[in-house]
Amino acid sequence: MGDRDMQALDAYFVAERMRHLEEYREFLRIPSVSALPSHREEVLRAADWVARALRQAGVPTVELLPTQGHPVVYGAWPAENPGTPTLLLYAHYDTQPADPLDEWTTPPFEPTIRDGRMYARGASDDKGNLLLTLKVVEAFSALRGQPPTGLIFLFEGEEEIGSPNLRACIQEHKDLLRADAVMSADSVMWAHDAPSLVLGSKGLIGLQIDVQGAQSDLHSGLHGGLAPNPLNALATLLGSMWTRDGQIRIEGFYDEVRPLSERERAEIAAVPFDEASYARSIGIPAPVGEPGYGPLERNWARPTLDVNGLWGGFQGEGNKTVIAREAHAKITCRLVPNQVPAHVIAAIERHIQTHCPPGITATVEQTAGSSSAFAIAPTHPVLRVAREALRASYGRDPLLIRLGGTLPVAEYFQKDLGQDIVFLAWSMPDEHLHGPDEFFRLENFDRGLRIYTDLFERLSVQWES
């Protein structure tokens, strides 16, 4: 972009900063807590607020798309020239609940600036990031009459409750959402001084294992050595799933895992991770897990299987000489690229049936919707340009990170729109997201404005799909 152009946009951001912060506060004052039925009107008020802000930014088409729950705010500004790309921007206007209220230094919905930080529920997740994308559009609109690329906005009000209606909304409005690329302004950087881009996240499956022995609880003296014990059986079954050092022993479990390339291992190795301080922070002697892989490789790029709950039998004080009739476990697995959830579930079921001790019946039930892992190629045209824009701003190459967690929206955009999503936002892991005293660094609001501006400019001139 021309220096003069950037200077004019910069000058605009400086001149409008107080107003931007005032609007940011206004947005934060709306307690749009999606989880609370009592806040339904407030969530709707936030949706209206965002719709109005889009219109004020000059976006020609703005509407609320109704869903079974809270509405999706939609906006569209078509590209001027057929050669310029259209980007779909995703973010969310709902927030987590604010309790426990007495742990906040200032009330969660009375936004307060302290030490260059905006303190309020939603300041970082995700209202600050959402708003700065709108202010970028507004700046282009004011100075040039339009943004340099086509833009579609899709802001949901149910992210914090797991986006139960987003997928249906995307499917219903596919024609409104046609874009050359999808970006999310809901994401976390590696650290305040370490800009990063997300290359992947994990998939998820959940299962409940129920094991059954005799038809009723039995006396362990009368029946010991004769009747099958479901709790012993469950312990045997679960114990057969890992080696002592944490490798998963279920046949076929790793079959579809795409091995890490040299490049990926180098990217991961470039991310600073202090094992000792991590271990200290959670009170363990050292990180543990599958041999042959570094800690971040295990967390980001190797599948895991965890027991999340176990129950059955006597749990009161003292002894009870009982052989319980049943026992249960809940397990979840985090999956990595190329693993098909249904195949992993089938492998676990086979393992359980093959290893089930005599006299015991075991059943396996899927407990939640499953999702596949997400991965985006570093050569993705928008990701490549985002990397350049970050490098230009920070004077260093961003880290390429993955997430051990799951991003359901990534799968929706991938499956329903055929788009890998580029995450670019300025929340930092230390900003108390979902906790008391959530905050957003205002210097990142400023930086986000400039980098998004730069990114749209770069994409308008160097688009190759």
| Binding footprint of Zn ion on the chain (CB under 5 A) | 125-126, 186
The residue among 125 and 267 lying less far from Zn ion, judged by its C-beta, is: 125
Nearest Cα neighbor of 107 from 95, 120, 97, 96 is 120
**CB-based burial label for 19 (10 Å; 0-12, 13-18, 19+):** exposed
How many angstroms from the chain centroid is the CA of residue 357? 39
- Side-chain half-sphere CA neighbours of 11 within 13 A: 8
The residue among 130 and 237 lying less far from Zn ion, judged by its C-beta, is: 130
The residue among 129 and 339 lying less far from Zn ion, judged by its C-beta, is: 129
Q: Give the DSSP per-residue string, 327-379.
A: EEEEEEEEE-TT--HHHHHHHHHHHHHHHPPTT-EEEEEE-S--B--EE--TT
Asked if 150 contacts 449 with a C-beta cutoff of 8 angstroms, the reply is no
Closest distance of CB 91 from Zn ion, Å: 8
Closest distance of CB 125 from Zn ion, Å: 4
The residue among 125 and 457 lying less far from Zn ion, judged by its C-beta, is: 125
The residue among 126 and 138 lying less far from Zn ion, judged by its C-beta, is: 126
Closest distance of CB 170 from Zn ion, Å: 17
Pairing type for strands 86-92 and 203-212 reads unpaired
The residue among 130 and 459 lying less far from Zn ion, judged by its C-beta, is: 130
CA–CA separation, 74 vs 100, rounded Å?
Answer: 33
**CB-based burial label for 447 (10 Å; 0-12, 13-18, 19+):** middle
CA–CA separation, 154 vs 34, rounded Å?
Answer: 17
In sign, the C-alpha dihedral spanning 39, 41, 45, 50 is positive
Closest distance of CB 34 from Zn ion, Å: 11
The residue among 211 and 422 lying less far from Zn ion, judged by its C-beta, is: 422
Closest distance of CB 186 from Zn ion, Å: 4
**CB-based burial label for 289 (10 Å; 0-12, 13-18, 19+):** middle
Classify residue 188 by its DSSP letter. Answer: B
Closest distance of CB 188 from Zn ion, Å: 9
Closest distance of CB 55 from Zn ion, Å: 24
Q: Which two tokens stand for residue 374?
A: 């997400």
The residue among 156 and 264 lying less far from Zn ion, judged by its C-beta, is: 156
**CB-based burial label for 141 (10 Å; 0-12, 13-18, 19+):** middle
Enumerate the H helices of 145-182 as residue ranges: 166-172
Q: Which residues contact 436 (CB under 8 A, 6 or more apart)?
A: 98, 100, 103, 104, 108
The residue among 126 and 411 lying less far from Zn ion, judged by its C-beta, is: 126
Q: Give the 3-state secondary structure of residue 436.
A: coil
Closest distance of CB 94 from Zn ion, Å: 9
Nearest Cα neighbor of 461 from 381, 364, 351, 358 is 381
Distances (CA, A) of 105 to 23, 94, 110, 437: 22, 22, 11, 7
- The secondary structure element, H or E, covering residue 277 is helix 275-282
Closest distance of CB 124 from Zn ion, Å: 9
The residue among 160 and 267 lying less far from Zn ion, judged by its C-beta, is: 160
